[in-house]
Amino acid sequence: MPEITHIIRADINLSQQPVQELCDVIAAVLPAYRGMEKEILIKLREAIDGHLKTLEKEAEKRDGKHSVVARD
């Protein structure tokens, strides 16, 4: 029985604008998931937001800033 796989290989030019390169990859992948585009983009946004929070925490640690929790 044949094995069928759907693969997209993307050559990303790291000397170009990274946002546009990544957007082009996303635009190439989304048509394979017709009807699920919104859900995929929402999950992608959540993943990006999570990564941004991680970067912010790392920057705070590096800069010696610590969040202080207010107590009543």
Mean pLDDT per block of 10 residues along the chain (72 residues) reads 84 90 93 96 98 95 69 56
Instruction: Note the pLDDT of residue 14.
Output: 87
Residue type, 5: T
CA-CA distance, 27 to 24, in Å (whole number)? 5
CA distances from 58 to 1, 7, 47, 54, 61 (A): 50, 35, 17, 6, 5
Cβ 8 vs Cβ 29: under 8 Å: yes
